[in-house]
Structure formats: structure tokens, C-alpha cells
């Protein structure tokens, strides 16, 4: 059985969110036979391209590669051992780098932030097209810089595993257990930098945007 609906890890939310947000999760079980065609890969990169960025600087850079390509194996070798145990089953690996300085060497302070937004857009585009993305910070960024000749303005940030989720994929423990565990997050209240009371305990917002506490 191979289906992104066969293992649902729907977010338990305090208020409804769009299914593309609520249903997205990061699997480690990928269908190792699934081939990502050019169009599918391009649409992911296109979604990333249209992310917002500071001054429209678009500091994200991508090195996409598909299974059975030399670059795919090179990227696999750079992964931390835990990631290397499952990520090669993905259809594509994408090295993501941020241009953290411009051509004159001046820092781009929002480059990492912007690049994260581009990956978020890519991830939601994947979810909308029945694909899954698992981001990995566990890789040797210095070696990536060397092997792929990245200039000093580029900071390797993550490697993305992209493919079709396979609920029956074999994973080593403890990853197999994690694959089926429910997802969790901090409560929304814990994220609010406010002492004005809990947002979730306020009344509905009026159309002026103020909480209607009357
Ligand atoms: C920047 C970043 C780095 C990550 N690095 C790894 C990693 O090296 N290995 C891994 O298995 N998951 C990694 N993840 C995935 C997170 O563990 C995962 O997104 C988080 O546990 C929430 O799970 P969910 O995406 O299924 O909601 C990373 C995620 C992000 C955003």
C-alpha cells in the first residue's frame, strides 16, 4: 500500500487550519520506486521562486538531483548517518543554500529567513501535489561547500528529501516508532509574546481586528 493518506498525522489544532497545513508532516518512509518527473520537480522549485524576500533579494539557491544521478549519491554521502538510513529512498534530494552576503560581501541579514520561507512554499506545493518533503539539517555543510564549489557568499542550509510517502517502508528503530507517533507542538499560548492574556481565551475578533470582549 502506498498512499499519503494511509498514515495520517493530522495536526490537532485549536482552530481549523487549511488541510495543506494540517495534513503535512515529514515522513522518513519514501517509495523508492517512485520517479519524480521534470514537471513535478519544476513546480516545486517554481513555488519556492515565488516566495517573498527582503527587498525581493531572492537569496535562495537550489541544487536538485534525482535518484540514480551522481549528485544524488554525493549528497547522500554528506548526510548524517541517521538521515542516510532512510533518505536515499526519496525520489529527489535538494541541497538548499542561502546567499548570506551579496556580491560585494555585504551581509544579507534576512537571507536565512527568506530561504526558509522559500522551502516552506516548496513544501506546501509538494503537499498539494501528493508529494512529501523531509528537511534535513543533519549533513556536512562544509563538505557540501567544497564538493559543489559553493562560493563564500553561499551558506548551505538544509538538504530536502522529496518523494512519495510509503507507509509500508521499512525503517530502523527508533525511526520506525517515530514514523507512527502523533505529531505535537507547543500550545499556541506559549508562543505569544504578550502579557495581555491568552489569545485563545479572548472573544472573536471584530472587523477592526480588536478582540470583541463585550
Ligand atoms: C531546519 C530543519 C532541520 C531538520 N533536520 C532534520 C534532520 O536532520 N533529520 C530528520 O530526520 N529530520 C529533520 N528535520 C525534521 C523535523 O524533525 C520535523 O520537521 C519536526 O520534528 C516536526 O515534524 P513534522 O514536520 O512531521 O511536523 C528538520 C527540520 C527542519 C525545519
Domain spans, the chain: 19-171
User: With respect to CATH, is domain 19-171 assigned 3.40.109.10?
Assistant: yes
Taking Cα atoms as reference points, which of 63, 50, 54, 56 lies closest to residue 118? 50
Looking from the CA of residue 28, the nearest atom of ligand 1 is 11
Q: Which residue has the higher pLDDT, 21 or 4?
A: 21
Residues with C-beta less than 6 Å from any ligand 1 atom: 25-26, 83, 135-138, 158, 183
Question: Could you read off the pLDDT of 127-165 as tens digits, one per residue?
Answer: 999 999 999 999 999 999 999 999 999 999 999 999 999
E strands within the chain? 60-66, 92-99, 132-136, 154-163
Residues 6+ apart with CB under 8 A from 57: 99, 102, 108, 110, 111, 114
Q: What confidence score (pLDDT) does residue 1 get?
A: 35
Return the best residue to mutate from 11, 17, 25, 26 for the ligand 1 pocket (most ligand atoms within 8 A of CB): 26
Residue 185 has pLDDT above 80, yes or no: yes
What is the pTM for the complete model shown? Answer: 0.91
For helices 111-128 and 38-49, give the axis angle rounded to 10 degrees. Answer: 140
Q: Are 132 and 30 in contact (CB under 8 A)?
A: yes
Mean pLDDT of the chain: 91
Minimum mean pLDDT range among 52-61, 129-138, 161-170, 187-196: 187-196
How many A from CA of 116 to the centre of ligand 1?
A: 13
Distances (CA, A) of 119 to 144, 154, 164: 18, 16, 17
Amino acid at each position: 500500500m502506498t498512499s499519503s493518506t494511509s498514515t495520517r498525522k493530522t495536526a490537532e489544532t485549536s482552530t481549523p487550519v487549511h488541510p495543506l497545513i494540517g495534513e503535512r508532516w515529514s515522513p522518513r518512509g519514501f517509495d523508492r520506486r517512485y520517479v519524480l518527473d521534470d514537471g513535478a520537480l519544476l513546480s516545486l522549485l517554481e513555488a519556492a521562486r515565488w516566495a517573498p524576500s527582503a527587498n525581493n533579494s531572492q537569496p535562495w539557491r537550489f541544487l536538485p538531483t534525482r535518484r540514480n544521478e551522481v549528485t544524488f549519491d554525493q549528497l547522500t554521502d554528506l548526510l548524517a548517518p541517521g538521515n542516510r538510513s532512510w533518505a536515499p529512498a526519496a525520489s529527489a534530494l535538494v541541497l538548499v543554500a542561502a546567499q548570506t552576503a551579496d556580491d560585494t560581501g555585504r551581509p544579507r541579514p534576512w537571507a536565512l529567513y527568506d530561504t526558509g520561507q522559500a522551502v516552506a512554499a516548496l513544501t506546501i506545493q509538494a503537499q498539494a501535489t501528493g508529494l512529501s518533503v523531509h528537511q534535513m539539517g543533519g549533513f556536512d555543510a562544509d563538505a557540501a561547500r567544497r564538493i559543489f564549489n559553493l562560493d563564500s557568499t553561499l551558506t548551505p542550509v538544509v538538504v530536502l528529501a522529496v518523494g512519495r510517502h510509503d507507509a509500508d517502508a521499512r525503517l530502523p528503530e527508533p525511526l520506525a516508532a517515530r514514523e507512527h507517533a502523533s505529531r505535537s507542538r507547543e500550545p499556541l499560548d506559549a508562543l505569544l509574546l504578550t502579557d495581555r492574556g491568552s489569545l485563545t481565551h479572548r472573544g472573536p475578533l471584530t472587523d477592526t481586528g480588536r478582540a470583541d470582549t463585550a
